[in-house]
Amino acid sequence: MGAIGKLLLGLGAVLVVVGLLLIGLERLGVRGWRLPGDIAIQRDGFSFYFPLGTSILISLLLTLILTFWAWLTARGR
């Protein structure tokens, strides 16, 4: 159970850092960052936004990070 607790604390710390980074970027004037693959539809009284390009980018980054982490932990055994 100790390893799971450390993992949860680490993930919480990462979320706090990302949250502070987003708040800081907003104060600097960087609002909404849309990638070319994101879908945005605006009509009268209706708006729809689906961040497809952003989701793909986040998925690729997380895959690379977790693969590297798994490689590092397997190397230590």
pLDDT in tens, 9-48: 888 998 999 889 888 878 887 766 677 888 889 999 999 9
Q: Which of 7, 2, 1 is nearest to 69 (CA)?
A: 7
Structure tokens at 62: 């997380």
Question: What contacts 53, CB < 8 A, 6 or more positions away?
Answer: 34, 35, 36, 37, 38
> What is the distance between the alpha carbons of residues 67 and 72, in angstroms, rounded to a whole number?
9
Using DSSP, state whether 43 is helix, strand or coil: strand
- The per-residue pLDDT for range 53-74, each reduced to its tens digit, is 889 988 999 999 899 888 888 8
